[in-house]
Amino acid sequence: MIRVTGDRELLRRWLPVLEGLAAKAEAQDRNGNGLPESTRTGLPGTAVCPTGNWWDQVNFGHEDAYVCALSYRAFRALADLEHLAGNLSQATHFEQRAERIQRIAALAVLVAAAAGIGAVLLFGAREAGRSLFSENPLFTIRDLDVASDGKLTPTLVREYAGLRPGLNLFGVDIARVRATLARVPLVREVRVSRHLPDRLEVRIVERTPLARLMVPKTGLCMAVDRDGVVLGPSAAASHLPVLGGLRRDLWLPGEKIVEPEFKDALDLLDLCDRTRLCQYVSIRSIDVADPEHLDLRLAADERVTLPRHNMESKLRRLATILKTIQSWHLQGDQKLDIDMCTESNFPVAGLNRAF
């Protein structure tokens, strides 16, 4: 209207009012990102009058896209009026404000569009994945190949893992199957692999029992492997050495025993197996109660006191002593008590001599 009438006096009277309204709109940019925020909360039931939208009572709130569009047009028009009034600095200010709204709003639209496209693509990919893989009868499991190197039968493994022929090869959650089987106390390692088009392979490496734990409260013997994992009573074969002297009196399958005195006993048994010294030092039981040494009972009822330090060298020396004694073919029921805690000249009670 001002451009048509050329009424500069009217423009002079109205500019302060328009600039005041513009200042209020700028103040609505409370987070400083360039977009004026609605005076409404956006919460249901809180709008007391129509909002800036042309959807009457819809209470949008926050950075309303329609309000931002109106604000852009208003700042552009006000900049034009400031030019007509000769207020170049004010004109530049409102032009920059309008340009900032345009730039930020365009970026928001692009982000929203990208998110929408991403959602569509994700949905499409999922649908395509179901059609091509997880719901495709071509990938129905016909060969469920399950094997373990120990006592676990294929039937038990299938039951533990919830596997059966007829499932979809890509519908099987391999990570879940692996995690489920790894919770079985006897399982040390699990490998699960797909082989197209219809074969699922499961391979299990079981824990090897190394000793037995006597559980006072139940009277049961629980097997334990070289890592200290309790395997349960079914794996506790009678030929395994018995560990005693522990302060606890209850263990659960799958639990790992970490007491240092217990670890020394397991290290000793593992050492016997690895070095083949077990053919000379056949351990029947180990008492771990003493913090300085282990009390061993051997197959011929010999008692050995073995220090917890330098175990390998002391164990090799003990094997030499036992081989020497065996070569004498002693007669009678000598109860030998061998003290390996000295640095040399290890006394053997029952023979009244040292080695």
| Domains contained in the chain, CATH given | 2-132 (no CATH), 138-206 (3.10.20.310), 209-354 (3.40.50.11690)
Bridge partners of residue 354, in order along the sequence = 347
Of 221, 223, 251, the closest CA to residue 235 belongs to 223
The pLDDT-based confidence of 44 (bands split at 50, 70, 90) is low
- Mean pLDDT (whole number) for 333-347: 86
| Token pair for 184 | 């079985």
Q: Rounded to whole angstroms, how far apart are CA atoms 307 and 291? A: 9
Query: With the C-alpha atoms ordered 50, 52, 56, 58, is the resulting torsion angle positive or negative?
Result: negative
Q: How far apart are CA 219 and CA 226, in angstroms?
A: 22
CA distance 266 to 166: 44
Mean pLDDT for the stretch of residues 281-289: 94
Indicate the helix (H) or strand (E) that contains 77. Answer: helix 65-85
* pLDDT for 203 beyond 70: yes
Task: Note whether 251 and 215 are within 8 A (CB).
Answer: yes
Q: Which amino acid is at 268?
A: L
Task: For residue 354, give the DSSP letter.
Answer: E
pLDDT band at residue 350 under the 50/70/90 scheme: confident
Please give the DSSP secondary-structure letter assigned to residue 140. Answer: B
Strand-pair partners of 294: 306
Q: Cα-flanking dihedrals φ and ψ of residue 212, to 5°?
A: -120, 145
pTM: 0.59
154-168, 185-199, 314-328: lowest mean pLDDT where? 314-328
User: Within 10 Å of residue 287's Cβ, how many Cβ atoms?
Assistant: 18
